[in-house]
Chain A
Amino acid sequence: MLKDILISAGVMGGLGIIFAAGLAWAAGKFSVESDPKVELLASLLPGANCGSCGCSGCSGYAEALVAGEASVDACRVVDAEARQEICSILGIESSGSRKRQVAKVRCRGDYKLARWLARYEGVQDCRAAALVGSSPKGCHEGCLGLGTCAAACVFGAITMGEDHLPVVDEEKCTGCGACVSACPRKVIALMDYDVPLVVRCNSHDKGKLVREYCQVGCLACRACVNACEQQTLALVLDLVEVDPAKCIACGACAAKCPSGCLELMKPPAAETKMLA
């Protein structure tokens, strides 16, 4: 009995050692040199594997960069110095500055301010709720508050507030765009980090309809358009849009808005984090 165990163990072990030795020899003989540039680039990249570049993770992006199949601008997360180094390693000139973008939520309609037609008891995911025949929320373009964007964020920058609206931590947000793809209503959008004015409404319905289902939705009343002296605001399909280049952040429009859906962002702090 013991003899059988020892013999079988010995045979297995012996075969294992022989094959391992053979593989080790073969590994030496058939070794492939991987381009050291790929590893260097991969170490410079953020390593978050968010996929906003369109490649399979940061190492996939590094390979694509070396092969010349991806552009240096594809990565939205990498910071200025790393980007410069990457450009110099690849031997290409860095193509100008890229403004830092962060995600901003374009809705203020929480459970108190917006009218909900029914209590949604299905799969607790915004994408599933958006598929329900008629929207559980009166507003067809408003935030459903089930946290799909927060779950999609790999950087932990989005949390759901007590009012069931997403709160974006703009310091953690890297502008990768994962939340934008995840949102079925496209309520969360990427804007410049230091944009002066944000329209906190996504509804393109006429004012009368908006009033029925939301106290803080844009009514397309033109009060803001008339109040603005710089002509930065315009009504597009019954929703206000801002031209950030012309806006001087005077706040005249926000004061006039009956719904309070125009939010003046605080003036940028002394150290604005811009990408060179």
Chain B
Amino acid sequence: MKELVLLLVGSALVNNFVLARFLGICPFLGMTRKLDAAWGMGLAASFVLVLSAMASWLVYEYILAPLSLEFMKIVVFILMIACLVQLLEMMLKKFFPQLYRAMGIYLTLITTNCAILGIALIVAGSDYNFLETTVFAIGAGAGFTLALVMMAGIREELEFADVPAAFKGTSLALIIAGIMSMAFLGFSGLVPM
């Protein structure tokens, strides 16, 4: 039990996917102008993250590894992630049309989000069991959402600040990201890797 909690904290804070592993930067910069959009994106990506981590682990463990097809893992994972994102799109279109329209192309871009493929490659062939994989993925999703929401909060506040013209927009976002990463370095050593 203690290991699971440590795993959760580890993937959410210590090795935060966005701020420590530098994966999933595209929505981190692209969907964080508004807090609502960041929330929506974070939860949608977390949904895909958890499902694809679980599915990837299962496929690797029970199909690819026994047939010695480990070399195919990247292609197979991409296939699965794409299908999961399509499923997510259909569900969002039906149940949350506002969010669907607000996210626009960024919803489809979750397919190419390196955090999702990243987590799939991390869990495949690692010595996590299925439960640990799921907890790891939930922590990763939570950390991803946290990073996005924090960034959105900061950016929304700075909308009203007197930012020099040269720094407006993406430059400021990158500077904020760098400072946030440095802050999250404070967590290192909290959980043994």
Contact = CB atoms under 8 A, between A and B. Distances in A.
B87 interface: yes
Mostly helix, strand, loop or mixed at chain B's interface? helix
Contacts of A32: 93-94, 97
Specify which of B63, B83, B93, B94 lies most central, judged by the most chain A CB atoms within 10 Å of its CB. Answer: B83
A23 B69 contact: no
Contacts of B76: 11-12, 15
Contacts of B86: 23
Contact of A12 (B72, B91, B93, B97): B72
Contact of A19 (B63, B83, B91, B94): B83
B69 A8 contact: yes
Specify which of A20, A31, A32 lies most central, judged by the most chain B CB atoms within 10 Å of its CB. Answer: A32
A64 to B, nearest CB: 12
Contacts, number: 42
A23 B83 contact: yes
Mostly helix, strand, loop or mixed at chain A's interface? helix
A8 B79 contact: no
Closest CB pairs A-B (n = 3)? A30-B90, A19-B83, A30-B94
Interface of B: 59, 63-64, 67, 69, 72, 75-76, 79-80, 83, 86-87, 90-91, 93-94, 97
21 contacts: A7-B69, A8-B69, A11-B67, A11-B72, A12-B72, A12-B76, A15-B63, A19-B79, A19-B80, A19-B83, A22-B83, A23-B83, A23-B86, A23-B87, A26-B87, A26-B90, A30-B90, A30-B91, A30-B93, A31-B94, A32-B94
